[in-house]
Amino acid sequence: MAPNNPRYNSIPAFHEKLLKSKRILAICGAGLSAASGLPTFRGAGGLWRNHEATSLATPAAFEDNPGLVWLFYAYRRHMALTAQPNAGHHALAALARKLPGGFLCLSQNVDGLHPRAGHPAEQLRLLHGSLFDIKCNEYCGWIQRDNFDDPFCPALAAASVDVNPGETLPLLDPGQPLAEIPRKEIPKCPNCTAGLQRPGVVWFYESLDEEMMSGVDRWIKDEPVDVVLVIGTSSQVYPAAGYAEKARGKNTSVVTVNLEPEGEVKLARKQDFVFAGDAAVLLPQLLEPIIGKPRRDGTYTP
């Protein structure tokens, strides 16, 4: 890479920009939660047991085999509940509190770690929903927020089993037979009684919440955005991937924070920055001029 900004990876140079910034947008992906021990959505090799993980995240898959799909999501719920927000989550939450009118975080993550880090809800948009919201698969409008039951229902108990380090969870072993979960054992929607309860996440072939997206667009257009933080994402999933350019103005700096080697990231403009490494390590350093230093437990003074 031949960057046109010789200070493209200089933290002091970024601090100069940050201290002049009044409005900051963050776009977060699965890499942010990696330090909390959560695997990416697709998992190692893209498989969950012998299933393509992406093939389980569709309305058609749920209609065909709701028990199997729920096992996949019940396992993800259990993993997320046993994980803890990392220093990156806490740094973003602290930034939100310091800039109540000037910071908005768009997250593709459904693991619930942003809210658990104390990120103000009014400055957080969960683009793909949450593992801990439950809704009706018949789209009757019923939704339950913040359901942390683990297991979600008795039929899914196998997804909430903990094993010793080095052991393989039977649920994840393709060689272990998987008992079929009948539809009747999945809780029904209490509103319409015709539908089944499903995870409140956005599946493939489903649209993101239009009201939420309109609100994000209004926030971006309201005033110039000085800094866009692109954190732990390959910027390949839309519409999230398009927000960096949508928010870019004449003086906007797009700042990439990712584990990817710096050479794989293209700097579009001379004011852009790239920081290669763990977001949980880098974000507290990058945001320190505004949020200060963390306490011993990694959190910040409210």
User: Is residue 105 part of an annotated ligand binding site?
Assistant: no
Distance CA 256, CA 269 (A): 12
User: Is residue 28 part of an annotated ligand binding site?
Assistant: no
Helix intervals (H) in 20-98: 59-64, 66-82, 87-98
- Cβ-Cβ contacts under 8 Å for 251 (sequence gap 6 or more): 224, 226, 271
Give backbone dihedrals phi and psi of 36, rounded to 5 degrees, phi first. -90, 0
Residue with tokens 């789209």: 139
**Total number of residues shown for the chain:** 302
Question: Which of 90, 114, 119, 128 does the annotation list as catalytic?
Answer: 128
128 is catalytic: yes
Cα–chain-centroid distance for residue 106?
A: 8
Q: Do the Cβ atoms of 272 and 8 come closer than 8 Å?
A: yes
Give the residue numbers of the binding site for Zn(2+): 136, 140, 189, 192
Give the residue numbers of the binding site: 136, 140, 189, 192
Name the residues annotated as catalytic: 128
